[in-house]
Amino acid sequence: MLLPMAYLVLRALEADTATLGEIVFRARNLMLLVNTLLLTFSVLAVVTVIALPLAWLVVRSDLRHKRLLSIVSVLPLAIPGYVMAYALIGMSGYYGFANHFFGIRLPRPEGLAGATLALSLYTFPYLFLNLRSALLGLDPALEETARSLGHSRWGAFRQVVLPHLIPAIMSGWLIIGLYVLGDFGVIALMRYEVFSYAIFTQYSGAFDRIYAAWLSLMLLAVTLTFVLGEAALTRRRRHARTGTGVRRRAAPVPLGQWRPLAWLFLGFVFIASLGLPTLVLIHWMTLAASNVDFVALMGELWRAFGRTAAVAAPSALLAAVLALPVVYLVVRFPSRFSTVIERLVYLGYAIPPLTFGLAMVFFALRSAPFLYQSLALLIFACSMTFLALPVGPLRTALLQIGTRPEEVARSLGDPPFRAFRRTVLPLLRAPIVAGALLVFIVVVKELPITFLLAPAGYTTLAMTVFSRTSEGMMAEAAPFAAAIVLFSSLFVGLILRYEGQK
């Protein structure tokens, strides 16, 4: 985790004093910072407006079919951000969905508004899941006490419920903020200049590697500011119930005359986040079917899928293998050293993928040129970036297993490793597979790292969708985008499975 960052710093410090001052204090940097923060906070505002009432309706209201509503609310995670941007762009223009069916020629969405809309429609389920879990675990007696003291329902929610939702909101904001800071596909398709877009442009177009390194360090500083800020805002807050007895389930709140408005809100959210990309994909795939050789297309689609799987499968396996000793060290031998190791694992996930990929490029060029543009470097970078994903399931399982099985095996004469292999490892198979599948699905959708590190001519599904969409080849990109959406549904199913477990 630290090696690529060290090379990034060394690369940035190669500039002489005069060049360093010109790079750091360039007026363009301030513009990129303002644009980056403006996009991030705009997305956070929009996802909060969507996720907070959505979670309350699903948990606290008397609406029917809540389980189905919860599943539909999470399904947008199956649509990557750049596919959502593809869908919004596919609505516009002469051949767009809106003009074809309704005779309305919409302008191409771009800039801050287009990027905010695409990212918000993709990332709001992250906040919804956090808020739903917090509302389910909140003691309804707190709100009832406020009502008995004279507060209205809105006053009780604002003064009692909302403060208890702050940890969930901050956690969801952190996840979404980190994703927005590191996103490349959406902002490139929407033509909005932020740090990640400028980094890729400087590296691939201008060939100013030192400036790209400094931009990466600036983006990393912004990212770490978000991480530290979230920790500072949620520290020393008490949210546990202090009363006696067992917490009851909250009684459903009757919506009454607000019920039609609630269904209107739900319909708008689901149509915008799921119906729109689905209809646009079907529209462009229909156009592609009449103009594209089906046999050639299926062959190209199969080759892109094979290349994607050739990166995702080894990355998932390597991440699971590397996560196991880290989790064992943290759980069985807790210390300051093991805590530092665990934080380094999460550092890789917090660093924007574009910055991490660029650091790996610098490392390969300076110290291991034989790895440059190799599949091995791409696999290693993906596994290190998403190493934190299998840590959660493994840590939970190891804590639940405890130390007794190993202790019994040791008392019967087994050495430490053999005792672990015979008693604990079989019980960890399920979380190892689940964590590896999680990494596999995320790597399938990964765009920035594959763009920077993939060998020449090696195109994955994500790269194909982005390159064809950016060139205006909407019909040719549709089958590849649909393949990503269908394949990513496995990722959504895995999230729902673990989200519902105790």
* C-beta separation of 87 from 155 below 8 A: no
Mean pLDDT, residues 123-131 taken together: 85
Instruction: Using the 3D structure, point to which of 228, 247, 280 is the last residue of a domain.
Output: 280
Q: What is the DSSP letter of 455?
A: P
In a domain, 251, yes or no: no
- Angle of helix 276-291 relative to helix 474-499, nearest 10 degrees, comes to 140
Q: What pairs with residue 253 in β-bridges? A: 61
> Model confidence at 141, in pLDDT bands (50, 70, 90)?
low
What does the pLDDT read at residue 250?
Answer: 64
| Residue-wise pLDDT tens digits, 149-163 | 877 777 777 777 778
Of 20, 96, 143, 31, the residue nearest 475 (C-alpha): 96
> Model confidence at 234, in pLDDT bands (50, 70, 90)?
low
**C-alpha of 219 from chain center:** 17
Based on the fold, state whether residues 425 and 477 are members of the same structural domain: yes
- Angle of helix 209-234 relative to helix 336-350, nearest 10 degrees, comes to 120
Q: What is the number of other CB atoms lying within 10 angstroms of the CB of residue 434?
A: 19
In a domain, 26, yes or no: yes
Instruction: Using the 3D structure, point to which of 246, 280, 314 is the last residue of a domain.
Output: 280
| Residue-wise pLDDT tens digits, 75-124 | 887 788 888 888 888 877 766 777 777 777 778 888 899 999 999 998 89
What does the pLDDT read at residue 502?
Answer: 43
**392, burial (CB in 10 Å: exposed 0-12, middle 13-18, buried 19+):** middle
In a domain, 381, yes or no: yes
Based on the fold, state whether residues 203 and 90 are members of the same structural domain: yes
Percent of the chain with pLDDT over 70: 88
Based on the fold, state whether residues 269 and 349 are members of the same structural domain: no
Distance CA 198, CA 31 (A): 11
What does the pLDDT read at residue 48?
Answer: 93
In a domain, 425, yes or no: yes
Burial 97-111 (b: 16+ CB within 10 A, else e): bbebeeeeeeebbbe
What does the pLDDT read at residue 492?
Answer: 63
Based on the fold, state whether residues 57 and 127 are members of the same structural domain: yes
- Domain of 326 in residue numbering reads as 292-501
Higher pLDDT, 236 or 294: 294
Is 327's pLDDT higher than 80?
yes
Three-state SS at 61: strand
What does the pLDDT read at residue 383?
Answer: 92
| Residue-wise pLDDT tens digits, 390-444 | 887 787 677 767 778 888 888 888 888 888 888 888 878 877 877 787 788 888 8
Based on the fold, state whether residues 212 and 299 are members of the same structural domain: no
- The domain tally of the chain equals 2
Amino acid (one-letter) located at 324: L
In a domain, 133, yes or no: yes
Based on the fold, state whether residues 52 and 192 are members of the same structural domain: yes
Mean pLDDT, residues 202-226 taken together: 76
Is 283's pLDDT higher than 90?
no
Mean pLDDT, residues 17-31 taken together: 77
In a domain, 457, yes or no: yes
Based on the fold, state whether residues 320 and 191 are members of the same structural domain: no
Is 387's pLDDT higher than 80?
yes
Is 264's pLDDT higher than 90?
yes
What does the pLDDT read at residue 240?
Answer: 47
CATH of residue 232: 1.10.3720.10
Based on the fold, state whether residues 193 and 299 are members of the same structural domain: no
Three-state SS at 384: helix
What does the pLDDT read at residue 43?
Answer: 94
| Residue-wise pLDDT tens digits, 335-350 | 888 888 877 887 777 7
Distance CA 107, CA 159 (A): 43
Based on the fold, state whether residues 402 and 432 are members of the same structural domain: yes
| Residue-wise pLDDT tens digits, 464-473 | 888 887 777 7
In a domain, 246, yes or no: no
Is 252's pLDDT higher than 80?
no
Of 329, 330, 368, the residue nearest 3 (C-alpha): 368
Based on the fold, state whether residues 388 and 263 are members of the same structural domain: no
Based on the fold, state whether residues 332 and 192 are members of the same structural domain: no
Based on the fold, state whether residues 205 and 317 are members of the same structural domain: no
What does the angle CA 453 – CA 454 – CA 455 come to, to the nearest 5 degrees? 115
In a domain, 248, yes or no: no
Of 364, 375, 360, the residue nearest 457 (C-alpha): 375
Arithmetic mean of pLDDT over the chain: 80
Distance CA 90, CA 96 (A): 5
